[in-house]
A and B are shown apart, each in its own frame.
Chain A
Amino acid sequence: MFVPLAQSLVFGLLVGALYGLAAVGLSLVFGVTKFLNVAHGELLMLGGYASFWAFTLRGVDPFLTLPLTMVFLLVIGVVLYKLLFAHMVKLTEEAKIQNTLLVGFGLSLILQNVALRLWTADTRGITTSYSRMAFTFLGVRFPIVRVASLGIALIALFALDLFLRRTYTGKALRATVENWEAATLMGIDIQRVYLLSFVMGAALAGAAGCLVSVGYSIDPGMGMSWTLKGLIVMVLGGLGSFMGTFVGGIVLGVTESATGYFLTLTYREVVGLVLFILVLVFRPQGLFGTKER
């Protein structure tokens, strides 16, 4: 009884860290720009394929390509932003959400099809020499690749937190989240802040994708479900606290596996949506968000 349950919760925690990482990127972009980029999951997919390619074509270790994957997605982020999102900066918050939803859906379809062309519909994964390694604690298996991914997600998160708290640019970003007009009156060029947050979100999606490709599997259609998870976690964690968002990811991961364990795997996917609705009804500011602005 104990071991299978604990095992399933541990797997939930490990995958939850990646949900969290995906959601932090989404939430960063949304918090600053009010762009709801539903193609976030496809950016994550591109990150996954980038590291998959680097591994199969060049044999480069996925953990080594991670920074490169982030840079690659950052560049894609710049292009997408300039091409599709930059002109929406002046819109009202509501119009931004509506417009970005449309653009995002279109973009996700395009990226899915590009991925189909380039890599076919097959499910892929990276199998390294250490992929099957795991350590066991109290009978519970901890695959080292996934544990390392958790560690990397945490490092990324702490780096982001440090950046937001300690640097002038980070503070400008937080100021823009609170009140873009007041931020403008500080002399902050919010166009640049928007671009920066968008590409940082893309880079985080790239990192998450890379980690998914090594610990799990990737396919051209994976984006939608990752975007959905990101959205659920974003609402779960509450806007404004990235640590909260990350913990929200873990909450979702663990809840999913507990549901899979106690009920059946079919309910696994539904439970996130149930959580989503419960939080919206009973705690709209999110589990860790504060009401006051």
Chain B
Amino acid sequence: MLKLSGINAAYKDLQVLWDVSIQVDEGELVALVGSNGAGKTTTLRVISGLLKPASGSISFQDHSLGKESAHRIVELGISQVPEGGKIFTGMSVLENLELGAFVARARKDKDQTLKWVYEIFPRLEERKNQRAGTLSGGERQMLAIGRALMSKPKLLLLDEPSFGLAPILVEQIFEMITEINRQGVTVLLVEQNVRAALELAHRAYVIENGRIVGQGTGEDLLSFESVRRAYLG
């Protein structure tokens, strides 16, 4: 479904991604793990079209994403929950969700999708008229995910959805992600919370200093000596 081959990407003169190749098949939940500054967020930015790679190719279904602009990529069915959620704090919860369904493909089914999102996150329905800036950390993350789901994505990119949340909330969020995946949304999950992510994912990639240094099923990687030492202590 999604295929990155030989991606090199840089911020100005600073190259951050080196020959990154990643593949995600339809229906999968794939994790991309690595430590701080490894290049996880950058990888997602490249997929979403926010950062154009210096070389390499990206394809999604039958489309080449290399020249597509970021807003077109959403229309094609890729939605990203950015690092920290980046919800629109000055707007109501409902307005945030409506904006999630901005693209024409999603807008016509907005009401139906909204019901679905409220089913997954009942909390959001209770809070729908509240200003998003007043939500708790966990609720904000739910809103960020719910907002991304409103675009009816085929592929959902999640950038550290567990960041800054209490362990119990992390567990809840991960359960919801599993549930979303089970309902047919392909997921690429970026995490620093390596153990939890590997337990959850069908497959995973390990990224270090901008290079993919390992891949395999979650179980494989969990038993991988170097991964254990580096990330699981």
Contact = CB atoms under 8 A, between A and B. Distances in A.
Given A168-B102, A175-B99, A179-B86, A185 B91 contact: no
A266 to B, nearest CB: 41
18 contacts: A168-B98, A168-B107, A171-B91, A179-B86, A179-B88, A181-B50, A184-B50, A184-B71, A185-B50, A185-B80, A186-B74, A186-B102, A186-B151, A187-B75, A187-B103, A292-B89, A292-B133, A293-B89
A174, A183, A184: residue with the most chain B Cβ atoms closer than 10 Å = A184
Report the contact-size class of chain A (Cβ under 8 Å from the partner): 20 to 34
A175, A179, A184, A187: residue with the most chain B Cβ atoms closer than 10 Å = A187
Nearest to A168: B102
Interface in A96-138: none
Given A185-B79, A187-B102, A171 B95 contact: yes
Nearest to B148: A185
Contacts of B99: 171-172, 175, 183, 186, 188
Contact of B90 (A178, A187, A188, A189): A178
Contacts of B91: 171, 174-175, 178
Interface string A174-215: 110011011111111110000000000000000000000000
A259 to B, nearest CB: 34
Nearest to A182: B86
A178 B88 contact: yes
A190 B147 CA distance: 18
Contacts of A293: 89-90
B90 A185 contact: no
B70 interface: yes
Contacts of A171: 91, 95, 98-99
A240 interface: yes
Interface of A: 168, 171-172, 174-175, 178-179, 181-190, 240, 292-293
B102 A174 contact: no
A175 B99 CA distance: 8
A240 to B, nearest CB: 7
A128 to B, nearest CB: 42
A118 B71 CA distance: 44
B100 interface: yes
A86 to B, nearest CB: 14
Contacts of A183: 99
B141 interface: no
Interface string B65-78: 00001110011000
Contacts of B100: 186
A175 B133 contact: no
Contacts of A187: 71, 74-75, 102-103, 106, 151
A179, A182, A190, A240: residue with the most chain B Cβ atoms closer than 10 Å = A182
B39 interface: no
B53 interface: no
Contacts of A175: 88, 91, 99
A293 B95 CA distance: 16
A289 to B, nearest CB: 11
B161 interface: no
Contacts of B103: 186-187
B82 interface: yes
Contact of B69 (A178, A179, A181, A189): A189
B90 A174 contact: yes
